[in-house]
Structure 1
Amino acid sequence: MNRKVYPDLNEVLYTEVLANGLTVFILPKRDFHKTYGLFSTNYGSIDNEFAHSGEGRKKVPDGIAHFLEHKMFEKKEGDIFQEFGRLGASANAFTSFTKTSYLFSATDHIKENVLTLLDFVQSPYFTPETVEKEKGIIAQEIQMYQDDPDWRLFFGLLQNLYPKHPLHIDIAGTVDSIEKITADDLYECYQTFYHPSNMILFIVGNVKPQETMRWVKENQASKTFAATRKINRYFPQETVADMIHYSSETMPVSRPKATLGIKGLQENLPEGNKEQLRFRTAVSLLLQLLLGNTSENYLRLYQEGIIDDSFGFDFSLDRSFYFADFSSDTGRPEEFLQEVEHILLNYANEKEVNKENLERLKKRMLGKYFQSLNSLEYIANQFTQELFGKYTLFDLPEIIRSIRLQDCLDAGQKLLQKEAIAKFCLKPKKEV
């Protein structure tokens, strides 16, 4: 078991890759009563076309990763939530574009809860009857999200940025796509992506690392897994020319909603895990300089009524894609889109993009980071979602401190390209 000390954070992280390929991380937090366990597979909603090396491609219906997450909790003997409840734990799961994660939190019966987490995720049970029953439940969930204006706004933008890539498809799929899912499809996806070599177990809380690792190793040694095989994932070839630069929809909303996105071009993404983590950090700082809630641009747009308290932005960087998005409720959607585009494309000439402001924002980012480490949920979720090779959540302070103004300017040059901008608006449905 490897032991890495982070003296500035007063943290010690224990890591081991087991014989079956499972990577285990244990972070002891003796001052906490709660323990949080998260079992995550590198498999999400975009992974709908794949093959093992030497085999033919398999294309599965959209939404199957999320469907599989739902079905994992149902076993022949009953609902696994009841078992966690009996052990005094709360359990949950979530599916993102690139990950599916199962988790529990508890203050007691930690060994039993860790083993229950491992066992239920590693023992799939699907039948044609239970799959059919689940379709109606998930169809209702899909329709509920389709009625959410902010959800529609976000996926409307993704449709424009990535018209071919499965990123633009709702994580839960569509009502039509989930109707095509079979028990055999679920088993095929499970056997492909739920192999231990494609998974991470992260345990954080009041645990003893050696003892906890022994529980996990004994549990895994008692099971038989197929040999590790390389997974090939396939995505459509897409260029800037494929993008839809503007579209709009109507919906029963009281005010228009507008969003602007910038698609990251793969050829501009730095190579190497550390450089990509530095790039992500530099972009985040640059966007804060330009449009953060302490910037002059933000205050001006707010005072002019072009944005309101709903304004926000984000930068996402994951395997096979990266993009920035900016959105707000606004009575002047066209002006909002024009203003945000102008600010972004003229980043190098913005007077607020200077060393003094950058150092202030770095201190603010570090402050939020250290505050977040008081949350076990934050640590586990961020750690498993944002692994950059050997660089982890705990390497971020060093990365943040290392960013210079030129790094932000270079990151802006790579990301903020006019031809990579797309816009989407939701407008109120007019009364008939």
Structure 2
Amino acid sequence: MQTTVFEQVNETVYHETLPNGLQVYLVPKQGFSKTYAVFTTRYGSIDSHFRTRNGEEVHVPDGIAHFLEHKMFEKQDWDVMHEFSKNGASCNAFTSFNRTAYLFSCTDKLEANLNLLLDYVQEPYFSDASVEKEKGIIGQEITMYDDNPDWKVYMNLLKAMYQRYPINIEIAGTIDSISKITKEMLYQCYETFYHPANMLLLVVGSFAPEAVMELIRNNQAAKQFPPAPKIERIFPEEPAEVAKQRIEHHLPVGIPKCMIGFKEKQCGLSQEALLKRELATKLLLDIAFGTSSALYQKWYDSGLITENFDVDYSGEQDYGYSIIGADTPDPDRLAEEVKLGIETLKQSGIAEDDFERAKRKKIGQFLRSLNSVEFIANQFTSYKFNGNDLFSVVPMLESITREDVEERMREHFLPEQMSVSIVRSASPQE
């Protein structure tokens, strides 16, 4: 078992690669009452086109990763949720664009819950009847998301920015696409993407690392797995240009919703370079549009934005985008104000005081977040799958200069890379 000490943030990570390829990470947090475990596969909604272990090219229906996540909770003769509940644990799961995670939190019976987590995720059971039943359940979920203005304004922004790359496709798919899912497809996707060599297990909380690692070793040694398949994902080539500059959708909302996105023009970064780009962009967004910025105060005081104004950045090796969003009575004006504010900042440059303040703020926020086992569990795997360590964020933040952030401003905030998504109630004449 390898031990890595991150002295700057006072964290220790224990790591071991098991014979079946499973990556196990343990982060003990002495004095915490809650322990959190997450079992994650590098498989998400974008992974619908791939080659199987025998070289066959497969294109499965949109939404199948999310469908598979739902079906993992169903067993032939026992109830996963009930078993966790008996052990005093709370369990859940989620599917994102590039990963599926199964998790639980508990204050007691960690050993029983950990064995349960590993066992139910590694014992799939699908039947024709249960698959058909699930289509109706997920169909209702899809309909609910279609009527959710917050989700709609976000997904429409991705559709506006991306022409071909599959993050412009709904994670849950469509009612039509999930109608094509079969039991055989689910097993095929499971066998391709749920091999331990494509997965990561993280446990964070109050426990003895040696004892927990031994429990995991024993659990995995008792199971038989075929050789790890070589996973070959197939993605379309994404043009640098946005698909559309603007998408407007009508839903009954009290005040219009607006999201402005900036699509990365060039991708392909990995590991430390990817982490640096993410953190520099988040610093830039805070300096330009954060709650202490002049633009935020101006817009808020004038009533152009409300308290739910937010900015964020999402960056992966194959895609990346910034989002600036708010409820606003005048979405078109907000979009123009964002463009104007960026151009003004490009001309004036970033003040050193503003840069240092934003950096201290980000470091402080991150250090406070490490008091949450949920934050560590949910962020750790995301960074690890990109070849980075969550606990390397602070030294990377400290290394970023004002010049780095200004360079990000020039290369990322490009008018031609900007898209706008608006959701508002239909006008009376419509």
Alignment TM class, shorter chain as reference: over 0.9
| TM-score, normalised by the number of residues in structure 2 | 0.96
Match of 2:181 in 1: 181
The amino acid that maps onto 1:199 is M
The change in CA–CA distance for 1:431 and 1:79 in structure 2 (over 3 A counts) is farther
The amino acid that maps onto 2:229 is R
* Deviation for aligned residue 1:391: 2.5
Match of 1:69 in 2: 69
Equivalent of residue 428 in structure 1, options 405, 413, 425: 425
Q: CA-to-partner distance for each residue in 1:21-54, whole Å, 9 max, x for gaps?
A: 1000001112112211110000111111111466
1:386-405 alignment runs, 5 A limit: 386-387=383-384, 389-405=386-402
- Contact in 1 for aligned 2:242/2:417 (Cα 8 Å): no
Match of 1:144 in 2: 144
* Deviation for aligned residue 1:305: 2.3
1:157-306 alignment runs, 5 A limit: 157-241=157-241, 243-267=243-267, 271-306=269-304
- After TM superposition, the runs of 4+ consecutive aligned structure 1 residues lying more than 6 A away are none
- Contact in 1 for aligned 2:42/2:385 (Cα 8 Å): no
Distance 1:54 1:354 in 2: 57
Which secondary structure does the structure 2 equivalent of 1:320 belong to?
A: coil
Which secondary structure does the structure 1 equivalent of 2:9 belong to?
A: coil
The amino acid that maps onto 2:148 is D
- Contact in 2 for aligned 1:261/1:325 (Cα 8 Å): yes
Match of 1:381 in 2: 378
The amino acid that maps onto 2:315 is L
Match of 1:365 in 2: 362
Match of 1:88 in 2: 88
1:306-345 alignment runs, 5 A limit: 306-345=304-343
- Contact in 2 for aligned 1:313/1:325 (Cα 8 Å): yes
Distance 2:371 2:303 in 1: 37
The amino acid that maps onto 2:257 is K
Number of residue pairs matched by the alignment: 429
* Deviation for aligned residue 1:342: 2.2
The change in CA–CA distance for 1:257 and 1:126 in structure 2 (over 3 A counts) is same
* Deviation for aligned residue 1:348: 2.3
Which secondary structure does the structure 2 equivalent of 1:74 belong to?
A: coil
- Contact in 2 for aligned 1:253/1:429 (Cα 8 Å): no
- Contact in 1 for aligned 2:260/2:324 (Cα 8 Å): yes
* Deviation for aligned residue 1:242: 5.7
* Deviation for aligned residue 1:245: 1.2
The amino acid that maps onto 1:122 is Q
The amino acid that maps onto 2:150 is D
Which secondary structure does the structure 2 equivalent of 1:370 belong to?
A: helix
* Deviation for aligned residue 1:310: 2.2
- Contact in 2 for aligned 1:98/1:319 (Cα 8 Å): no
* Deviation for aligned residue 1:386: 2.2
* Deviation for aligned residue 1:421: 1.0
- Contact in 2 for aligned 1:149/1:253 (Cα 8 Å): yes
The amino acid that maps onto 1:287 is L
Please provide the CA RMSD for this pair. 1.5
* Deviation for aligned residue 1:265: 2.0
Distance 2:412 2:115 in 1: 44
Distance 1:346 1:284 in 2: 19
Distance 1:241 1:216 in 2: 47
Which secondary structure does the structure 1 equivalent of 2:8 belong to?
A: coil
Distance 1:347 1:230 in 2: 47
State which drifts further: 340-349 or 398-407: 340-349
The amino acid that maps onto 1:71 is K
The change in CA–CA distance for 1:157 and 1:242 in structure 2 (over 3 A counts) is closer
Distance 2:18 2:127 in 1: 31
Match of 2:107 in 1: 107
The amino acid that maps onto 2:162 is Y
- Contact in 2 for aligned 1:345/1:418 (Cα 8 Å): no
Q: CA-to-partner distance for each residue in 1:385-409, whole Å, 9 max, x for gaps?
A: 2226553111111011111101101
The change in CA–CA distance for 1:389 and 1:180 in structure 2 (over 3 A counts) is closer
- Contact in 2 for aligned 1:204/1:376 (Cα 8 Å): yes
Q: CA-to-partner distance for each residue in 1:181-210, whole Å, 9 max, x for gaps?
A: 111111011001101111000001111111
Distance 1:365 1:421 in 2: 25
- Contact in 2 for aligned 1:277/1:388 (Cα 8 Å): no
The amino acid that maps onto 1:392 is D
Distance 1:44 1:343 in 2: 36
Which secondary structure does the structure 2 equivalent of 1:75 belong to?
A: coil
* Deviation for aligned residue 1:272: 4.0
The amino acid that maps onto 2:320 is Y
* Deviation for aligned residue 1:243: 1.3
* Deviation for aligned residue 1:347: 3.5
* Deviation for aligned residue 1:87: 1.2
Name stretches of at least 5 consecutive residues in structure 2 with no aligned partner: none
Match of 1:132 in 2: 132
Distance 1:11 1:310 in 2: 33
The amino acid that maps onto 2:141 is E
1:355 aligns with 2:352: yes
Q: CA-to-partner distance for each residue in 1:265-292, whole Å, 9 max, x for gaps?
A: 235x5x4411211111011001111010
